[in-house]
């Protein structure tokens, strides 16, 4: 026979309350019923968990080992019950989401219809900002952050990762040639960011390491602007796969220098304030988007 959850609860309650009589009072049972449950549990496990005398109780080494794991199991069961209870509720209310425009356009907007079908009582409010915002000032429930997170008082949930590719349009490559090495980028038009210098470190292996700092020929604050410039044949760009995979599939952009790519993947996080319980509407959105981003996990 296997131990049951009610037997684990009795065992943990006896230890935490300090005595069989105190546990009996707390659980609404008789001391003899609590004692029988403990004896039955020890018989199933074929070991002594508690050395009991008329004056005191002491955990055996096996009892200490079992107590730690019993607490973990009961905690997991509590968490599961809470999650199942939440699933039966109907998420509703206004959900304010902030993300950089490329993520908003390529990873949220295409799935809005599906999300609204699943959760018709959630009112979405979508805001784009290519700079880091203050969630309280902007009345934002969830912000999507791409790249490494700075130290913060915010809670964060990892949603996935996305590789970075070096890209150019077929027209640009036809006019200016395809660079066959990292060094061959010299003399080419390079498209980069005006904000956050780390975004101009491309994941390319070269003599001095596996990140290449580039001086942009043309700069922009938004990755979407850089994508449009690359599509227009204005130069070579380094952008995340989540915003360019359709362009690559359709042949509008070509991946170059793949043999020198160091394989760095941009982490994608959702950040939010959380008090005691994460609002159900936020939890539903995070689960939904994490599932959509799973395509980039491979």
Same domain, 72 and 30: yes
Residue 239: closest CA among 182, 190, 179:
190
Which residues, listed in sequence order, are joined to residue 254 by a DSSP beta bridge?
168
Residue 161 scores a pLDDT above 80: yes
Domain shared by 261 and 187, yes or no:
yes
Outline where 179-273 has alpha helix (H).
223-231, 241-250
Q: Same domain, yes or no, for 187 and 220? A: yes
| pTM of structure | 0.65
Task: List 206's β-bridge partners, or say none.
Answer: 209
- In the predicted model, what is the mean pLDDT of residues 61-83? 83
Q: Are 98 and 157 contained in the same domain?
A: yes
- What does the pLDDT look like over 112-146, one tens digit per residue? 999 999 999 899 999 887 655 454 445 678 888 88
Range of the domain at 30: 5-87
Q: What CATH number should be reported for the domain holding residue 24?
A: 1.10.10.10
For 17-70, the pLDDT digits (tens) are: 888 888 888 888 998 999 899 899 888 888 998 888 767 788 899 989 988 888
Pairing state between β 142-146 and 265-272? antiparallel
Check whether 194 has a pLDDT greater than 80. Answer: yes
Are 198 and 235 members of one domain? yes
pLDDT in the model for residue 136: 45
Closest-CA residue to 282 (of 168, 122, 146): 122
Residue 196: pLDDT above 70? no
CATH classification of the domain holding 188: 3.40.190.10
Q: What's the confidence (pLDDT) of residue 199?
A: 84
Same domain, 69 and 198: no
Averaged pLDDT score across all residues of the chain: 86
Residues 170 and 246 both lie in one domain:
yes
Tally of domains in the chain: 3
Tell me what pLDDT residue 261 has. 94
Residues 143 and 177 in one domain: no
Residue appearing with tokens 């309280």: 136
Q: Do 154 and 185 fall into the same domain? A: no
Domain boundary, last residue among 42, 62, 87: 87
């Amino acid at each position: 026979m296997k131990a049951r959850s009610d037997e684990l609860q009795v065992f943990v309650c006896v230890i935490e309350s300090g005595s069989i009589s105190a546990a009996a009072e707390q659980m609404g049972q008789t001391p003899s019923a609590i004692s029988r449950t403990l004896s039955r549990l020890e018989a199933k496990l074929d070991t002594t968990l508690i050395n009991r005398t008329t004056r005191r109780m002491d955990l055996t080494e096996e009892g200490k080992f079992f107590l730690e794991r019993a607490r973990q199991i009961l905690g997991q069961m509590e968490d599961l019950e809470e999650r199942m209870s939440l699933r039966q509720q109907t998420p509703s209310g206004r959900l304010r989401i902030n993300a950089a425009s490329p993520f908003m356009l390529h990873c949220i907007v295409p799935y809005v219809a599906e999300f609204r079908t699943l959760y018709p009582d959630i009112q979405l409010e979508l805001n784009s900002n290519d700079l880091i915002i203050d969630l309280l000032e902007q009345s934002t429930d969830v912000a999507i952050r791409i790249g490494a997170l700075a130290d913060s008082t915010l809670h964060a949930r990892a949603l996935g990762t996305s590789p970075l590719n070096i890209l150019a349009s077929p027209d640009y490559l036809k006019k200016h040639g395809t660079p066959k090495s990292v060094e061959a980028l010299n003399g080419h038009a390079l498209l980069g960011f005006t904000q956050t210098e780390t975004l101009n470190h491309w994941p390319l292996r070269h003599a001095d390491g596996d990140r290449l700092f580039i001086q942009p020929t043309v700069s922009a604050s938004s990755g979407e602007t850089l994508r449009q410039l690359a599509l227009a044949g204005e130069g070579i760009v380094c952008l995340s796969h989540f915003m360019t995979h359709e362009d690559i599939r359709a042949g509008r952009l070509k991946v170059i220098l793949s043999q020198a790519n160091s394989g760095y993947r941009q982490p994608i996080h959702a950040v939010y304030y959380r008090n005691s319980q994460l609002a159900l509407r936020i939890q539903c959105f995070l689960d939904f988007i994490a599932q959509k981003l799973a395509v980039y996990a491979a």
